[in-house]
Structure 1
Amino acid sequence: MHQTTLQELFLEELRDSYDAEHQLLKALPAVAAAASSSELRAAVEMHAKETQGHVDRLDRVFALVNETPRRQHCDGIAGILKEGESALNAPPSATTDALLIAEAQRVEHYEIAAYGTLVAWAGTLGLAEAAELLEETLEEEKFTDEKLTQLATSDVNASANA
């Protein structure tokens, strides 16, 4: 479909993000299982719970705009997850953890861009309540990215280099 209005772009991005979150719900348990660091595993497990909250918020946003929640395949997240498959199949080690963090941060950066766009568009469209819900998710994605950076720089990268 060729979008002609900001409202149509917003709905397309909403559906794309909805699919991305569902793809992540499916992938995160394998990421947690592949981690050798208990801190990394706990962070991934916590983010899996947050991701379910992201889906729930998106359901609420769909309701606010009188749309049925529908997924539109997110090629971006699918590609990032495909690239990260090698880390899931590698033996658990600090090096694998470093790679898992790198792949997870690629996901977070993608989601930060998507949710930032959704927040801006919701604001422009006068969808204040939707913008607030999307902003909550955006802030959680930023926090997860910061936590991953902290894990990488405080221990995992140095252990991978030992």
Structure 2
Amino acid sequence: MTSADHNAAACRATRHTRVQHLIAADEHSLAELEALIATLPLCSTGRVFIEVPDDTWPTDLAVPPRMIVTWLDRSRRSGTPGTGRGCAPGAALTRAVTGWADEMLCTDDHATRVFLLGGYLGTADIVDHLTGHLGMPADGIRTPERFGLATAR
């Protein structure tokens, strides 16, 4: 489904189904993220998590009005509790996405569209959590084809 499949009148209709989106990206996938967001209907709802190295990266990202963008600054986050280490690439994104999914995804309803554009390790951990812990079908999760994860393309 693309933004071309919708118009303003359809989005305002009371019976119009709004599909929730969960999108995860990092500093290496910002162009991919912007291309994906450009295809979303104006009536899309959901959450966008973006992990970046520091606070110089966040910008205004034009998302549909019912979507929330959260920038995750790695330089301000800790690594594994008790280690004293800094946050490794992918760790903040994994924690944020899995925490949000645990709270917000209904176990009986897998209508949420998931797009994981971040690095391989974080993406693999998120896929494992969504499919293993939450029972989400792998074919409902989109990941970069280059990762070779058993998900929909």
TM-score by length of structure 1 reads: 0.29
Report the structure, 1 or 2, having the larger helix content.
1
Larger Rg, first or second structure (1 or 2): 1
Report the structure, 1 or 2, having the larger strand content.
2
Higher RCO by CA contacts (8 Å cutoff, separation 6 or greater):
1
